[in-house]
Structure 1
C-alpha cells in the first residue's frame, strides 16, 4: 500500500498500461544482424516484463531512413520490412508477461556519424555541424524532407504490423524533428523555418503522416526536451509552447519530457544525470509542460527509488515515471516491491557505466549487474539452488568480485566463508566513495551487505586469510578476490618507497582513503585517465589544495565516459584545478622541503619542472598474487580456469571431476586489473555453477 500510486493502471490513448512505471527509450547497442531485434534484444526486454514493468519503450534512436545510419549504435532499423517478424517475437515475449512494448522512431539528421557502412550524406535543416559527433552535413532539400516524412509513416506501420503497442517520435537531444524546432540549428527562411509555425511544420507533417498510417487505435507519443539549456536554444517557455502546439492537434497519446539538449559534451552530461546530480533534477520541467497539455506526461531522469517514484506520482507532477537505469540495475524492481522485498532491490547508483558504454558504441551493461543484456547467454538474475553436492566455499577479499562470488555461492546453497582484511566490505568501492562526486557508488556495497547478511554467510572482517586459516576450514572451493595495490614502482625514478615517510610519491588511494594528509600544492600524474585521477583532483581541491592534474594522454579523465567527464570538468574548473595533457612523469626528486616533478612532452621531448609539496600518482594497480601462488600447487586444478567454458557461460569441467583437496580460482584485480563490472561478471559466470 505504501507504493500504491506506482501500481495504478493508466490509459495512453486506447492502450491500458498495468502500472505507472516505464523503461524509457535508450540505445541498447545490441540490435544486430542489420539492426534487428534478435534473441539478445528480446531476452533483455522480456526480463523487464517478467519483473513487472508496465511499459517498455525500446530502441532509443531507432532509425526510419537509410540515410540515418543505425550501425553506429547497433540501433533498431525500421527502414526495412525485415524488422516485422523480429518485432512479432519481441511483442509476443512482452505480452505473455502482461507488459506493453513500444519503440522510439527517429531520423537522426546531423546527430550521428557519416563514416562507415554506406557512408551517408548527413542532413540538417541548415547544414550546421553537430559538436558531439563532429558531424558535417548538408542542408536538407524539400524533396528529402517529404521523403523522410514518408519514411516515418512507413516505420510506424512496420511497428504496428509487428505487433508493437505504439511508437514514440523522438524530438529530443537534437534529432531531426527538434533540429527543425531549434533556432540555433534551423536558419531557414522558407516554409520549413523562419516563423514558429514554419519551424513546427516538419514535426507536424511527421505526426500527421504517422497517424494516417497507423490509425487512431495505435498509440503515438512524442519525447521532447523541457529546456535545451542553451542561451540561443529553446527555453522552458518555448518548450511549453511547442508541447501545447502538438498536444492541441489531438494526435498525441502521451508526451515524454526530459531536461537538457545533448548536442554538446556539457549538455549531454545533463541528459543522463549521473551520481553527482540530485534526485529527479529536471522534474520541474516535466511538471511545467504537464500544466499546459492534456495528454499524459511521462518523465525519466534520475528516478531510482520507489519512494521517489511514489512521491512524484502522488504529487501529480507527472503521470508515469521512467526508472530506466533502475531497471537496468534490477529488472525485477517492480516484482520486489510487490513481494515486500524493497530492501532486496539492487538500486542504480548512477555510475552511468551503461550509458557511457553506449556513447562508446558498445553494448549497454550495468556496473553492478552482470546479467543485464546477457540473459540470452544463460546468465541469471535469480540464482537457483544447486541440485548437487553442498560444498564448503571460502572467498578471500570483500571487494565487488569477492562479494558477488560469496553471494552467488550462498544463493546456490553452499556453506560460504568470506575473509576481508579491512573492517568493512567494499574494497576499492569504499575508496572511490570518498570522492566528492562518487559517494553514491557505496550503494553497491550496501546492497551486498544486506544480501550477505540475509544469506547467513560467515563473514570474517578485519581478518587476514593465510594458507593455514583457509585449509583449516577444509574447503572444497577457494575463490581469491584479493585485489591489488597501487602500481607506483613501475619507474624507479618516481622515488616510490613502501614506507610512505620515505616515498616521494603517494597514490590516489592514499589520498582518498585519508592514509596521507592532503598537500597544499599538489601535482597529480594520471596515466590511466579513468575515475581515480580526476576524483583525487576534485577531492584535494575540495580540501583547499592548489592542484594540477597532468596526463600523458589526450586529456585528464578522457576514459571516464562521455556523460561523466563533463561533470568532473565543471567541478575542476570551478575549483581552478589546472589540467595539463601530453606530459609524462619522468622523475621526482627532493630539493630542500619541496619536491620537484620532472615532466616530459612525448611529442617534442622537451622537459619542464613543477615545484610542489606533494606528488600523487595514478598508475593503475598490480595484482596481489602472494596467496594465490602459495595455494596454487596445493589445489586440484592448479588455479587454472577453463576459458572456453568460462566464455561460453558453462560450468568449469573440474567441478565434475572427483579428487582430494580443493579447487582454486581467482578473479577480479588479483588476476588482472580491470574494473568493477569485470570483477562481478567473472564472479557470476564462474560461481553460478558451483
Structure 2
C-alpha cells in the first residue's frame, strides 16, 4: 500500500473512492444535440482508465428548457439523455472510477436567444454582465416547475447509473436566490437568509424524495462572493450550516468569488501569472468549521499542491481539472513514480476561453484532449524505425520530435537559436506568462530521455539536411513578423516582437497597431505602458484582441487601465510618414471614407507572421511526395502517400507557422496528427 496521501482511498457515504484525486464538474462543450455522446464518453473514459477516482461530468447539465444551453450544456431535461449517460458511466465504472454529474438551472447566466428562445428567469430583473440577458423576475409557478424539473433530472441521472449528482449553486439560479445582490423577491423566497435559501432546500427535498437516501447528493457553492452586496464569508458559513442541517447533503464543493463578470470569473478560476490555489485555505476553513466532506478546485495544477491539500486536512478530495486536460494520466504517473513525466498545465486557460467563445475545450499543448477518438495520449511504436530530421525547435518542431521519438524513430533537430522555444520563448519574456515555457521544457525533457539529438546555433541548409540521409524531413521553422502592411512607411514601423524581445526600446508616444488580435500586441503594449509612455492600441476590428479571449484579457486590462493607455477600435492604419522627429500616422476605417492623421514617435505593428519557408521550397524537388500532404490521410489517421516523385529521397512536410500564422495549439496539433502515423 502506498503511503502517498493522494493515493489513499476515501469513503463517501457508501461509495469508496480509490484515491483523493478528482475531476470537478466542467463542461468541455462536447455534447452533440445536447447529449453526452461518444466524444464525451471517450474524454472521461481516458481519465478514468488512467486512475482518477472520481470524474464529474457537465459543467451544468440543464434541468429546464428555460435554462438555455449557452455553454452547449447537456440537456438533462430530455429522457433520451439516459442511455447516453449510461454508456458514459459504464465505461468509467469499468476502470473503477466513480461518476457524478452536475445539475443546474442557469437562471440569468444564459441568454434567451439560445435553445427554445424562452426568457431567462431569475430572482430579479438585473442582467448578468457576462451573458447580457435581462431576465424575467421569477414567479411562483416558475419555481414549482423548476423544482419538479430538478427532481426529474436527478431521477434520469440515477437511471443512467450515476453515483451521484452535484447541484451547481454559485453564479446560477440557486445562488441568485441566496445572494442579497441578486434577490429582490418579496414573500417566502426573498428577504431573510431563511427565505432566500427556501428554493434550494425545496429542490434538495424534492430530489431526495425521488432518488432516495442511497444516492449521493452534493452542492457546489460560493461561501464568499467577495463582492459588494453579495454573500459574505460569515453568511456563506451560515449557508453551509443550514445545508448540513438538512441531513440530505453529502458533500460540499467550495468556491470563493463571483462569476457574473470576466474579472470575477478569472479570480474564481485563476489563469497563468496568478497565484496557485488562492482559495485552498478558505476551503479548508469551511471543512473544519462545517464538518461535511469537502471538495475544491481552483488552479491546483501540480501534484505537490494537491498532496499538501490532502496531507494537511484542507480537503477530502482535491480537484485537478485543467491539469487533467493537460495530462489525463496524472494518477497513473504518480502511482508509477513518474511525476516528472506529467505534462504540466501552464495555466493558459485556452480550454475555458474557447468555451466562453462558443467553442469546445481544447488544451493549448495537448492536442489529444477532446480528440480521444482520433488522437492518442499514448504514442504507439512504429513498425519500422526511420531517420527523421526536424528543422526548428519551436512548439511544432518539439512536438514532432517528441512524438517521433516515442514512435521509436532516430530523430535529429536543427535549431538556429541557442535554445529551443521559438515564439514560446518570446512569450515567456513576460513575467505573467513565464509558465508557457513549460510547454517547451516538458518536451525537451521527453526528447532527451529518448536520445533525440539537437543541433543548436545551426541555421540548417539543404546540404545539412541531405547529409543526414533522412527518411522524413519536417520543416518547423516558424515565421517572422509581418510588418509590410502599409501603403507607405513600412520602414518606419517596428514589430511587437521587437518590443517584447527588448531589441527596440519603447518610445514616449506609441501607436500599437494590432491587425492580428493575439497576445503579442497586448504584451508589447504592456511593456510600453510600464515604461511610462502614452500608448494607443488600435485595431480595425470591432473589438480588440479577439484571439486573447475573455479570461486571458483580464490580467492585461488590470495592468493597462491605470496607465496612459487608449483603446481605439474600427480604425485602420493606412500609412506612415516621417515628420521631423515624429511619425505621422494616416488613419482610415473600413466603415467609411473618413481619414485622420495623428503623430507618434513610434509605431508598433502586430500583423501575424509570414512563413520562413525557403528551406522547404529548396528541398521540395528532392522529396518523394513533393511536399504534398494528403488531407484525407491526415484527418483520418492514415500514413501519407509517397508516390508523387519516386526518384525523391525523403518525405517532406512542413507544420506550424512555417505553413501559415496560427497559434500554439494549431502548431502542436499539426505535429501530433502527422507524426503519429510516420
Same fold (TM over 0.5): yes
Offset of residue 660 of structure 1:
4.8
Give 2:81's match in structure 1, choosing from 69, 83, 86.
Answer: 83
List aligned pairs for 1:256-405, cutoff 5 A: 256-377=253-374, 379-387=375-383, 389-405=384-400
Contact 1:352 1:564 in 2 (8 A): yes
Determine helix, strand or coil for the equivalent of 2:74. Answer: coil
> Is the CA contact (8 Å cut-off) linking 1:275 and 1:437 kept in structure 2?
yes
Measured against aligned partners, the alpha-carbon deviations of 1:332-387 in whole angstroms (never above 9, x if no partner) come to: 0111111111111101000010000111111111000000010112x100111112
**Residue deviations 1:141-170, cap 9 Å, x none?**
111101111111111111111111110000
1:532 is the counterpart of 2:520: yes
CA distance in 1, matches of 2:142, 2:311: 45
- Residue 451 of structure 1 and its aligned partner are, at CA, apart by 0.8
Alpha-carbon spacing, 1:656–1:580, altered in 2? closer, same or farther (3 Å): closer
Partner of 1:195: 192
2:568 paired residue number: 580
Aligned partners of 2:511 and 2:604 also within 8 Å: yes
**Are 2:609 and 1:612 equivalent residues in the alignment?**
no
| CA-to-aligned-CA distance 1:389-438 (integer Å, 9 cap, x gap) | 21111111111111111111111111111111101111100011112321
Residues 277 and 131 of structure 1: CA distance in aligned 2, closer, same or farther (over 3 Å):
same
TM-score between the two structures when normalised by the length of structure 2: 0.97
Q: Deviations over 1:77-124 (max 9, x none)?
A: 111221111111111111111111100000111111211442112111
CA deviation after TM superposition for structure 1 residue 558, in Å: 3.1
**Partners of 2:397 and 2:643 in 1: CA distance:** 19
Return the alpha-carbon distance in structure 1 between the equivalents of residues 221 and 186 of structure 2: 24
Aligned to 2:661: 673
Which of 427, 435, 439 pairs up with 1:432?
Answer: 427
Q: Distance in 2 between matches of 1:267 and 1:605?
A: 40
Q: Any idea what SS the aligned residue of 1:599 has?
A: strand
In the alignment, the residues of structure 2 paired with residue 551 and residue 255 of structure 1 have an alpha-carbon distance, to the nearest angstrom, of 45
3-state SS of paired residue (1:276)? coil
Distance 1:495 1:660 in 2: 41
Q: Does 1:233 align with 2:230?
A: yes
Q: 1:447 matched to which residue of 2?
A: 442
Tell me, yes or no, if the aligned pair for 2:323 and 2:344 is still in contact at 8 Å.
yes
Question: 2:507 is matched with which residue?
Answer: 519
Q: Does 1:44 find its partner at 2:43?
A: yes
Distance 1:655 1:146, change over 3 A: farther
- CA deviation after TM superposition for structure 1 residue 655, in Å: 8.8
- Cα distance in 1 for partners of 2:643, 2:107 equals 54
Question: How far apart in 2 are the matches of 1:345 and 1:39?
Answer: 26
Q: Quick one: distance in 1 between partners of 2:474 and 2:378?
A: 21
**What do residues 177-216 of structure 1 show as CA deviations (whole Å, max 9, x unaligned)?**
1111111211011111111111000111111111121111
Measure how far apart 1:286 and its partner are: 1.4
CA RMSD of aligned residues (A): 1.8
Quickly say closer, same or farther: Cα 1:148–1:632, change in 2 above 3 A: same
1:686 aligns to 2:671 (yes or no):
no
Instruction: Check the 8 A contact 1:3/1:306 in 2, yes or no.
Output: no
Query: Where do residues 536-685 of structure 1 align in structure 2 (5 Å cutoff)?
Result: 536-654=524-642, 660-685=648-673
- In the superposition, relative to structure 1, how do residues 658 and 99 fare at CA in structure 2: closer, same or farther (>3 Å)? farther
Provide the C-alpha distance between the structure 2 equivalents of 1:659 and 1:454, rounded to a whole number of angstroms: 35
SS in 2 for 1:437: helix
397-406 or 313-322, which deviates more:
313-322
Alignment partner of 1:411 is 2:406: yes
Aligned to 1:132: 130
How much has 1:514 moved relative to structure 2? 1.7
Structure 2 SS opposite 1:291: helix
One of 105, 118, 121 as aligned partner of 1:120: 118
Which range is displaced more, 301-310 or 236-245?
236-245
2:203 — aligned with what? Answer: 206
User: Which range is displaced more, 653-662 or 457-466?
Assistant: 653-662
What are the residue-to-residue correspondences of 1:217-232 with 2, within 5 Å? 217-232=214-229
| Secondary structure in 2 matching 1:653 | coil
Change beyond 3 A, Cα 1:452–1:180:
same
Secondary structure of 1:148's counterpart equals helix
For 1:31, the equivalent position in structure 2 comes to 31
**DSSP 3-state at the match of 1:146:** helix
CA-CA distance at 1:656 after TM superposition:
12
Structure 2 contact 10–20 (Cα < 8 Å) conserved = yes
3-state SS in 2 of match to 1:375? coil
* 8 Å Cα contact 1:409/1:687 also seen in 2: yes
- 3-state SS, counterpart of residue 187 of structure 2: coil
Instruction: Tell me the SS of whatever aligns to 1:523.
Output: strand
User: Which whole-Å CA distance do the structure 1 matches of 2:598 and 2:646 have between them?
Assistant: 61
| CA distance, structure 1, for counterparts of residue 362 and residue 608 of structure 2 | 22
1:231 CA displacement: 0.6
Residue deviations 1:255-300, cap 9 Å, x none?
A: 0012221111221222321002111112233123223212111110
Contact 2:122 2:136 in 1 (8 A): yes
Q: 2:326, 2:345 within 8 Å by CA — same for their partners in 1?
A: yes
What residue in structure 2 maps to residue 500 of structure 1? none
What secondary structure sits across from 2:87 in the alignment?
helix
**Post-superposition shift, 1:628?**
1.2
Unaligned 5+ segments in structure 2 are none
| SS of residue paired to 1:633 | helix
**In structure 2, distance between residues paired with 1:635 and 1:73:** 46
Range 669-678 or range 596-605, more displaced: 596-605
